[in-house]
Structure 1
Amino acid sequence: MRLMTIPETSPGLSGPYRAVWRWHFYAGILVLPVLMLMALTGGLYLFKTEIDGLVYGRMAHVEASPSTTAPDRWVVSAETGTGGKVANLVVPAPSDEAVRLTVNLPDGGKRTAFVDPHDARLIGVTPFGGVMETVKQLHSLTLIGPWANYLVEIVAGWALILVCTGVFLWWPRGRDVGVVAVRASSPGRRPFWRDLHAVTGLYAGAVIAFLVVTGMPWSAFWGDQYMAFVKDNGLGRPKPPAGAFAHADHQNAPVGVGWTMEGMVMPGDHATARPAPRLSTVVTAADGRGLPRPYTVSIPADPSLSWTASRVIQHVEDTRIVYIDGATGAVGADLRWGQFGVGAKAFEWGIAVHQGTQYGWMNRYLMLGGCIAIWVLSISGIVMWWKRRPPKLSKGRIGTPEVPPNPRVRAAVLGIVLPLAILYPLTGLSLIVALLVDRAVCAARRLAY
């Protein structure tokens, strides 16, 4: 069968339609590999607890016992067995779970140590975070380098352009479009893949857009701008009842406190005669305040800073962070969900839903469906292009429809992409680059002919 391209003046296809189709195609080229990787790793991360249980179950579980040793012995055991310094740990709730401690090594590396809370026996040591930490770094592209966070933001913006242009292309206009079910029966023909692509986008587009938008706060540029706006307008972090928050460097930053409170520390009591800070003092204080287990305790490298105990949560309404003086056990702040501003609540709620924890199994599988849909859309898009590609991929032709240069065409494209380019500036900059490349390619083709 001879593969045909769409003629430059295909009947029934308006200029705006072809222009939007062209940029839908380009958006797919730009983001498809990264988007598929993020969908795969994001789908795996939804099952972090189950995967960790399968890989590290032998070390993570201990024989239940009503008695426990002093928490300070957990730290001694982990540091003796690894030669490092404990930075934080998770105090477990069930009596059959091990304590997980993050240890900073002298060479700058990290390890996760598992200690039996009943006898302080070191059960085992793994690379920091284990398998799921690698999945997380692949998802955020941090394995490539710190600059990759900007790439994630650009890809997310283009993914939104894909969704919006896809809706435009699907929308019924009195033609045979706007399908709501796969009508073609033969997978060997292009109409089957076209229908599959359209139907998948129709039912999963909103979920994909939600995943993209709620992932944006993690980004280096847009996320920082959002948090700055929230902070400047009093919509974010709660005010401490005593003392003041300070922004800590990396080695003192608490973990498990959510993105709103990331890096926020509180000075401890500056009395001259102070005992040495101890984990046992902090655990006793946290338990005494009724902080439900499991909770994460962060140990600052600076002894003048308070320790942080933050509840391990599934639902954002259960958020609770307690700042405790490691020497005296005095509580400097006890923060709860109701004290956060509306901007911070929106931020944290979006992250919880994005990670599939906020609304139980339904939330998790809905997000998984979005991840699977990205793969279906990507594969069906590739197959459709392959079936309609030019006979020879040469002379700058790759199968995209030609667009007549007129104001109506430009208005159709700009009406979709310009608001997103303004909302997400890095995407806007990449769009300008893409436009310049497109103009250059078109000019080169005209010269060639």
Structure 2
Amino acid sequence: MTITDTAPAEAADPGRAAKLYRAAWRWHFYAGLFVIPFFLILAVTGMMMLWIAHLDGRDGERIPVVPQGEPASLTLQAAVAIAAVPGGEPVQYIAPRAPDLAAIFRIDGAEGPRTVVVDPYRAEVITDFPRRSGWYDWADDVHGSLLLGVAGDRMIETAASLGIMLLATGLYLWWPRGQGLRAALVPNLTARGRALWKSLHGVTGVWISVVLLFFLISGLSWAGVWGGRMVQAWSTFPAAKWDAVPLSDVTHASMNTGPKEVPWALEQTPMPASGSRAGTPGVAPGTRVTIDTVDALARRIGFDGRYQLNLPRGETGVWTLTRDSMSTDSLNPTDDRTVHVDQHTGRILADVGYADYSIAGKAMAVGIALHMGTLGLWSVLANTAFCLAVIFLCVSAIVLWWKRRPSGQSRLVAPPMPRNMPLWKGAIVTGLAIGIAFPMAGITFAAVLALDGLVLSRIPALRHAFS
């Protein structure tokens, strides 16, 4: 919920409830002022990614081929893909989802990583293009960082953090007071003008409130500060569960290139290292460890259809087999699985699935699949409806503000802060708790207080504009 309309009749009462209402309205207004542009961007780019992924795929995965007998060996397919990028290094193979779809190879060349699409039956290159260069990836970059890198990530995280406060104050403002629950859940379609917009805005906010909170929390879990440095840090899959195999000095996050590709629970866990006799039987002893024999192992241990095979890099690198719903390998997040294979011995160094994740890791595996709409058409349609509702909330908030502001005014016309605010100590404690739980929100609170006390209070023209 975002910037609301005028307070109800109780706001005219100078009592405690009315003062609390006006204070919540003021915070709701200013939070919405910052959040609305970001929510619009997130909703529009979110819908773009939903439908592009569903209709066309993200990396050439939907390019059709005509099955002709048995596919060529992966060694030959990889050689053809490498030849398409002179001087290139093979990094990843993505198995086709179905027999009539192309195989995908990632080849890193002098000009950066490229996606090479190969007909697995004819061992011929169909097309190639810079990796992560499509419309899906552009929308993903905007959605995650506004194309501004770390600065954009922090801005998105701030908006999501303030969005939680926006949601809480919005529910408080719209909660029925002597009007019955129906008034909060059913719009008053007999109203006209500003009253109709207010009813539609409030009811929409109530209906999507739980889903909006879920999207904010799941999105924040990917953010750099709250997710990467707080929540993810204490819920990382413990490297000790690799059963005493040698560990590399790089983490699973090293397999990310641009967008997130590695399951959330594993990102900060060190990779196992090749070069010992550790592990359990994998590729048959005496058999050469190649992309074909590792693929055969993958099929034997349950990697059906589409999965991703990351090739070893360096002497201690490992073959890594992955399948997760976040990468659209499967429709079921509980099927997530990551297996590491020693490049020299072919032994399995680690095999971790959804059941091995922490509670937070399991929640994120399911949460991200719901967030991204990768559970099938029903989730695409549900997420689309949610995005449209968020867009409506933002637009209706702007309409409500425009209808409320006196014509000819050159100021924001923000709701006034009541004098002698009751329970102000509790408000400070609540603000500190939110600031500690969500650091970017805390930084924003501090910045707003500093701006108000050091700048706006000393410059009458600015104070008037923001009042």
TM value normalised by structure 1 = 0.86
Residues 89, 56 of structure 1: CA spacing in aligned structure 2 closer, same or farther, 3 A cutoff? closer
In the alignment, structure 1 residue 98 sits paired with structure 2 residue 102: yes
> Cα gap change, 1:245/1:155 in structure 2, threshold over 3 Å: closer, same or farther?
farther
Q: CA deviation at 1:316?
A: 1.9
Q: Do 1:17 and 1:169's aligned partners in 2 also have CA atoms closer than 8 Å?
A: yes
Of residues 221, 239, 242 in structure 1, which corresponds to 2:241?
Answer: 239
Letter in 1 for 2:358: G
- Alpha-carbon contact 1:242-1:332 (below 8 Å) kept: no
Call closer, same or farther: CA 1:216–1:76 in 2, change over 3 Å: same
Q: Distance in 1 between matches of 2:179 and 2:255?
A: 58
SS in 2 for 1:350: helix
Cα distance, 1:445 vs structure 2: 4.1
Tell me, in whole angstroms, the C-alpha distance in 2 between the residues paired with 1:211 and 1:237.
29
RMSD: 3.2
Could you give the per-residue CA deviations for residues 320-370 of structure 1, whole angstroms, max 9, x where no partner exists? 111112344322222222222223212222212212235x44443333322
Q: How many residues align?
A: 434
The sequence identity of aligned pairs, in percent, is 28
1:286 corresponds in structure 2 to: 298
**Is the 8 Å Cα contact of residues 238 and 339 (structure 1) preserved in structure 2?**
no
Matched, 1:424 2:435: no
Which of these residues, 249, 269, 273, is aligned with residue 267 of structure 1?
273
Deviations 1:189-236 (A, max 9, x none): 1111111110110101111111000111101111121122224xxx76
Paired residue for 1:319?
Answer: 336
For residues 59-101 of structure 1, give each alpha carbon's deviation from its aligned partner in whole angstroms, at most 9, with x where no partner exists: 7110123301110222221221123222212112411111112
1:354 aligns with 2:360: no
CA distance in 2, matches of 1:190, 1:265: 58
Matched with 1:436 is 450
Of 46, 53, 59, 2:50 maps to 46
Q: Which amino acid aligns with 1:20?
A: A
**Equivalent residue for 1:371?**
387
Residue-by-residue CA offset, 1:81-125 (whole Å, 9 max, x unaligned): 123222212112411111112222213x22211111112210001
Paired residues of 1:98 and 1:115 also in contact (CA < 8 A): yes
Change (3 A) 1:134 1:51: farther
| Superposition TM-score, scaled by structure 2 size | 0.83
1:237–1:261: 8 Å Cα contact kept in structure 2? no
- Report 1 or 2 for greater relative contact order, CA contacts < 8 Å, sequence distance ≥ 6: 1
Range 76-85 or range 376-385, more displaced:
76-85
- Cα distance, 1:40 vs structure 2: 1.2
- Match of residue 67 from structure 1: 70
What does the per-residue CA deviation read over 1:262-314, in whole Å, with 9 as the maximum and x for residues that have no partner? 2642211358xx99863223212212323222110012322321110112232
**1:403 match:** 417
Alignment-derived partner of residue 11 in structure 1: 12
3-state SS in 2 of match to 1:147 = helix
Residues 448 and 149 of structure 1: CA distance in aligned 2, closer, same or farther (over 3 Å) = closer
Contact 1:238 1:340 in 2 (8 A): no
Shift of 1:163: 0.5
Is 2:259 the partner of 1:258?
no
Q: Displacement, 1:245?
A: 4.1
Equivalent in the alignment of 1:382: 398
Structure 2 counterparts to residues 189-228 of structure 1, below 5 A:
189-224=193-228, 225-228=230-233
Distance change in 2, residues 1:382/1:412 (3 Å) = farther
1:11 alignment partner AA: A
- 1:66 touches 1:95 (CA, 8 Å); kept in 2? no
Task: For 1:261, give the aligned amino acid.
Answer: L
Give the letter aligned to residue 126 of structure 2. I
Does the residue aligned with 2:313 lie in a helix, a strand or coil? coil
Q: Is the contact made by 2:31 and 2:166 (CA closer than 8 Å) also made in structure 1?
A: yes
Gap runs ≥5 in structure 2: 278-285, 324-328
SS of 1:239 mapped into structure 2:
helix
Task: For structure 1, list consecutive stretches of 5 or more residues without a partner in the other structure.
Answer: none
In the alignment, the residues of structure 2 paired with residue 99 and residue 308 of structure 1 have an alpha-carbon distance, to the nearest angstrom, of 17
Task: Tell me how far apart the structure 2 counterparts of residues 436 and 338 of structure 1 sit (CA, whole Å).
Answer: 47
Aligned AA (2:186): A
The answer to whether the 8 Å contact 1:79/1:103 transfers is: yes
Distance 1:226 1:34 in 2: 23
User: Residues 40-62 of structure 1, C-alpha deviation per residue, up to 9 Å, x if partnerless?
Assistant: 111222234324259958x7110
Structure 1 equivalent of residue 326 of structure 2: none
Which range moved further: 332-341 or 374-383?
332-341
Secondary structure in 2 aligned to 1:248?
Answer: strand
2:234 to 229, 243, 263: 229
Structure 2 contact 334–365 (Cα < 8 Å) conserved: no
Q: 1:284 to 1:135 in 2, by over 3 A?
A: same
CA displacement at 1:248 relative to structure 2: 2.0
Q: Which amino acid aligns with 1:267?
A: A
Q: What one-letter code is carried by the residue in structure 2 that aligns with 1:28?
A: G
- 2:456 and 2:462 in contact (8 A); partners too: no
Offset of residue 33 of structure 1:
0.9
Instruction: Report how far residue 137 of structure 1 moved.
Output: 0.7
Q: What amino acid does structure 1 have at the position aligned with 2:353?
A: R
